[in-house]
Structure 1
């Protein structure tokens, strides 16, 4: 689950003439049929080739309160809508299981209808004409770039701006609806928990220089984090960046205080353009690199290609490649995206509460989406209540509509800096995800935990060069990064100029490695080899440079720079391209409370070793923390404990009893013998 907070500087769009007039004209008229009122009915005389693609069999796009029927010629397009408060819908084309639909009905009908890989269409009102007229375009006909945007800082235009805010909000909401649909295929939901439009002035630097804009926005986001809890923030702007860049985002930045965000240009007249760009930049935050040759087999270039292609396709991409999915899995496996396991505050959802949106909100017992898409056997989709005898409907601690036993592991350890969680027996949801507190030692003391990840120079060399790579000698970092050029630097300044690294910051600049590989991984990556002398010995330093193709987006900050949070000295980490002192006061205070029998989690609480009980690990117990749920040993551990109990307690007891019995039997035999002897003596005396 991703909480997305989108910040949008206000921009004013210049109209694009011509392109809408070449679309298929669709007339809308009022229609009342019996007791059912149809808000609008679309009738069109469409091109026969288009109809053949779409209606080999009459298809129906059906959602809860929106029906779009596509019939044979002459063709009747009927749209009905009864809910005036909610106007953003996801759906599918009946009879086409691989299809999907994302539409807005707020001011006319606009959105995307994807029937299959060869048939995707964009529906929208025709600009400058009767608002009841719509156009339906094949995505291959969509324009790549619309008019330029400019920022307005004149208060005299405030009335004009206020009049434009509603359609602007609707446009942005449709953009989000579309890119949310892209991520559904990855089993990732992207709820919007905040939307801000800057109508007076920009709250951060927004210029034609993408690097400066990105880092300024990320610095502004740090301040925002303290007043508005969120996982990721995206800037959508009308400013056109230099070159071909239409977006930029840090790789693997998701959940990071410093890097969880990106910038995006609203570069198309249609919302799907910005949606594709935003999906791409968030993909970088998720650890997805650009697709290299052979990655995208899910869609041809004519179909738009894949979302993580270095260059924007035409028509716009809508699917993720197998390489992107592999990158995402790898990112999660090494502990990335820790914040995504926690549910957002449902009261913050933009758009208001609604049964059928897939999120369990106040007053709901469950929510499995619209009735047409709900496949949950435990939930009534019509009213978001649990079915009879069901205890739960969602969550990893719910199975067969019943709560799992307390102590069942629900989230395993992901990486060296993560901690496991267990079901409580009272909730269907796994407890909030926690991990080792920032500053905790990892990799045998060679690194510190940062946002749940153990970041090392060695790990980054392996990521860039592959198996066998390792960090170069410190002298390589110091010599190469002192140059302040494209091949050795500590990042760029606000003007886009390379910054020379001071000696103390050298290990936070361009990563320098040793590797036997011919070239670094990645299609556009080349090796920058430098030979230096240290202590009279020649040392080969291997850096990387990623160049942009002519049509590439250039949307990644240099992937060859050392990652934020990497240890660069004792008690120091890389931050803002400098090796800075890391304050571990919270960690030291917490560790002191754990009595030497545990570690500290990201909430500042003790996570006790097995054998010690939370909250302070001073009394015997099963281990864990107040945040992680009760630990229950698995069957193997239980077997071992049972055997140990048998050998250490039961067996000695049995032996003791046996020994006592033997002694007792021996004594009894002696008593009998003595008794017989006494009898014998007695008889002898009386003879």
Structure 2
């Protein structure tokens, strides 16, 4: 992906995004005592890369709704984020300063003093070159917990806080790339109501309390390392952890303190230093350890520095030695990304599948379930007196609705019919509609599958009044991209490009006349300026189920040229 940013001073930042952050396709988030599968937090719009013309630069961006992230050069960093409530979706770029932030060092206690006299820690020849190419790819799955105070400090909103944590992990990954190490955020937990353990006291005591809690309550959540992020106004130490114990389940825990007024860039350095200690690294001796053209990450003063940071020759040697030993096999396990949709039926997930006869969802939702009197919660089977346990023609008394009850209102006055229950099934009768190809809208469009399709109406239904179908130039710009925001479908594992004649048949592209940003929890949004128009396109954060209509594409039957309509993302010639 390439993004060009023009500033008021006519500088051109050309951003080449070269890879997605390696994260699970969907993030499991735990809020208080309830489990959320976060369709909100799809990882496919988080990227890292560099600024063209500046080889010693790093970029970490979230592109879900505007651009948010960090531009890092040598000794200087800039933040970028969209300006709210402005026409044209301008962004602001501002310098980030970390020099005056009061950040302490790691607490010197029984959890970390072991590294000071390591037997292999010897003088490193300044000319010695550690061959990074000899390192193997390694993966660390993390479960991150945000305490009540930090959750409130970051905004008290699950979406906002999650985005900030994802940005921190993105910054952490840009630094660990040098070691071919990927930090995978496997799950995220918010103590939004109250803390589950006391977070007062020094970092060392808190670490031992957290470790005891972790071993009791986190045994079923897959992770190699669990970190508790704690907000403190003025902490005495940045955190506490057990160095070198990365794959030891009895010690794989850490505490990271989030000081007041700290930047996300600085906190990401704190996280990397703590994780570095877990991975066998030590703080750098400035007389022995060197970094070319950048701040050394394991230099204690790195938290006060802006710009790119790299691991020193000492850190590379430490890491190579640590990973050559036994006991670190957990880092070799590439995380398995769980498919979004499962073949096997799961009782309690809210979907009736396989041999299930009903499914009211998890235990917490059971009291609100319409069919709770029909369904045995533990088995997802019907109770003896029940005829049905789901469906539009099943009543809350577990009986079929009588023949003639409306179960599917017509979607279009001209092209569709009302459908009714038949009295013998929990399902609505098959959808009936006007024959495909019949003209509608005063012979300016066609009926297809019950709809008199029209791009303007489709845009208005999604984005509200004032929105309409975009210009051809917008469709050409978006559907010529061959990415998730512009394509004509998917073939195998890649997006199909739209041929010129199908540019109006792929992804729906609409105009966006409003000053506020569009938000909907199940989709990501991209805005593009083409000439004088702001064009907007959507992409699902979790793929639609097979057979389900995808509203982010132009509806079948929509006119896409003279005597042409869209049929399954391609043009088809119809005679009006």
TM-score category (smaller protein): 0.3 to 0.5
Q: Between Structure 1 and Structure 2, whose CA radius of gyration is higher?
A: 1
Query: Which structure would you say has the larger RCO, counting Cα contacts within 8 Å and 6 or more residues apart?
Result: 2
TM-score by length of 1: 0.36
